[in-house]
Amino acid sequence: MYVKICGIRDVVSALTAAEAGADAIGLNFCEQSPRVVTPDVAAQIVSQLRALPGSPVEPVGVFVNHPASEIRSIGKQCDLRTIQLHGDEPPELLVELSGEFRVVKAFRAGQNGLDALARHLDACNRLGAAPWACLVDGKVEGMYGGTGHTAPRDILRREYKTANWPPLILAGGLRPNNVAEAIRAVGPWGVDVAGGVESSLACKDAALVRQFVQNAKTAT
């Protein structure tokens, strides 16, 4: 089970996630987010992670409607190999960047189902590229994520075409005490958490991070 701890803002939290066994950490460059991190700090975090034996944790740059030029600039400064497009980015941007980065595309799903996701993936395929993975978060109008709202698990289980679409990363409302249940209900390839492992807004709690990773890794 792939586990990503998102909204990391300091080296200590990044190393805690690595020691807990996380596969990835998210570095959020959206200025409107309470979990935003500057490129300078992000570069320090990535440098510390790259120095770990075997570099066990992949830093993922999280962008929301950033232009390609800014994504490239931050990606170069922070030595990023994987990015997450978490806004309303068109398929053309994913195609443009997929030759330079491994791209996770985020979607927000509600009770209306996965039609928008399906259309986006169809467009990407017509343009000759697809995301490395799809992250599905709960939908809250006017917000791009980090709300703690649960993605519709019954819809994901029923409508996500696992055999034909990129690997599914489940996000939204996950915590140490419910992640195993969510994994069993949806059957995702991976899970993503931000607020569910925080003791206060944007402050990661080491004990919660360790418990989340353990519960996710042993859920199946």
CATH superfamily label, 2-217:
Aldolase class I (3.20.20.70)
Instruction: Identify the sign of the CA torsion 163, 178, 25, 70.
Output: positive
Closest CA to 186 of 143, 153, 141: 153
**Band of residue 141 on the pLDDT scale cut at 50, 70, 90:** low
Neighbours of 195 (CB within 10 A): 21
Structure confidence by residue, pLDDT tens digits, 93-123: 999 999 999 999 999 887 788 999 999 999 9
**Band of residue 139 on the pLDDT scale cut at 50, 70, 90:** low
User: Where along the chain do its domains lie?
Assistant: 2-217
**Band of residue 27 on the pLDDT scale cut at 50, 70, 90:** very high
Q: Are 198 and 205 in contact (CB under 8 A)?
A: yes
